[in-house]
Amino acid sequence: MTPLDEVKRLLDGTVDPDALEANSELYDMAETIYGRDALDHLGVEAPERPSDSIVQPNGDSKHEVEMPLPNLAPPPVSEAIEGKRSWIIFSLTFILFALLMANLVVGFGSIVPICDSPDSETPCEDQLTLTSIADYESPDSWTETMTINTVDGVLIVLSAALMAYSLRKK
């Protein structure tokens, strides 16, 4: 009987169980199609399979040595850096954001005593203008709290964006 006829009989379900036991390729196809449980239920024994070894000649001698196949271990799981957040960037931008918001809401003058004397002209309990921070003793360096100028707004938005960006997972 040709192998094609055996495959047709296997697909029809009319194959002889003895033919399955004799032909390992046919048994493998039947096991794939019907499952091992169905073959066990029919009483079909699995054919003997060749060992998992490679036959290699041993130099110039006439006898052969069987070399076992190497067991390939799964690749080692590396310590993934993924998911690590940049806490340094987050901390720095959080501190910057907190300082900017404190200056905006309360004013640096009420947090840090910057004025030299109580009778000076500098209104120490107001918001420090960041564009003239170098001349902090001048009355022009201070404005009323809750006044947002361009520099303050840009720095607040930038620090908030950097803070949010640093929280993403890599």
Task: Tell me the pTM.
Answer: 0.46
For residue 111, what are the contacts with CB-CB under 8 A and spacing of at least 6?
Answer: 102
Q: Are 44 and 20 in contact (CB under 8 A)?
A: yes
User: Got the DSSP string for 87-125?
Assistant: HHHHHHHHHHHHHHHHHHHT-HHHHS---SSTTSSS-TT
Q: Are 109 and 126 in contact (CB under 8 A)?
A: yes
Tens digits of pLDDT across the chain (170 residues): 567 888 888 888 888 888 878 888 888 888 888 888 888 887 887 777 666 555 555 556 566 667 777 777 777 765 555 556 678 888 999 999 999 999 888 887 777 776 655 556 655 667 778 887 777 777 777 788 888 888 889 999 999 999 888 888 76
Scored b (16 or more CB within 10 A) or e, 107-122 reads bbbeeeebbeeeeeeb
Query: Cα–Cα distance between 11 and 16 in angstroms, integer?
Result: 12
At residue 57, the pLDDT reads 57
Q: Is 52 exposed, middle or buried (0-12, 13-18, 19+ CB in 10 A)?
A: exposed
